[in-house]
Amino acid sequence: MTGFGDDPFVTAVKPLVDAMGGEMMPPDQAGTDDVVLAWEGEDVVAVRLPQLADSLDHILLALERKQGRPLSELDRKAKQEVVRILEARGAFSVRHGVETVAGALGVSRFTVYNYLNRENAAKGE
């Protein structure tokens, strides 16, 4: 049998786990809240999912990497798009989500709420 890190299944799911901000470990180290993934009837890897607040930080960092610069340096239109993406991903259901996003964008909470209200008005909600 191959080592844990060499397993092709582990290699295949790693980008997804990384994108979620999760942590992979051997199945025998799984805790009660971890998700054990099996392949062909054999437990291959356990995944520890991040806490919601950690997920928001991870999403913000991923958006920053995608933009190629700090989110605070984006223009208003790009910041509005970031808020739209974050809202679609549930970022504002996290406690202090608005404050965290405002800090990352370098704007006030009021501005983030304005962006959200503008987006919801555009949807006709």
pLDDT band at 1 (very low <50, low <70, confident <90, very high): very low
Does 125 or 7 have the greater pLDDT score?
A: 7
The DSSP letter of residue 5 is G
Position 3 scores a pLDDT of 55
Check: CB of residue 96 under 8 Å from CB of residue 53. Answer: yes
pTM: predicted TM-score of the whole model, two decimal places: 0.62
Adjacency order of strands within the sheet including 23-25 = 23-25, 42-48, 35-39
User: Each residue of 31-90: pLDDT tens digit?
Assistant: 998 999 999 999 999 999 877 667 788 889 889 999 999 999 999 999 999 999 999 888
Burial of 48 (0-12, 13-18, 19+ CB in 10 A): middle
Residue length of the chain: 125
Q: Return the CA Rg of the chain.
A: 18
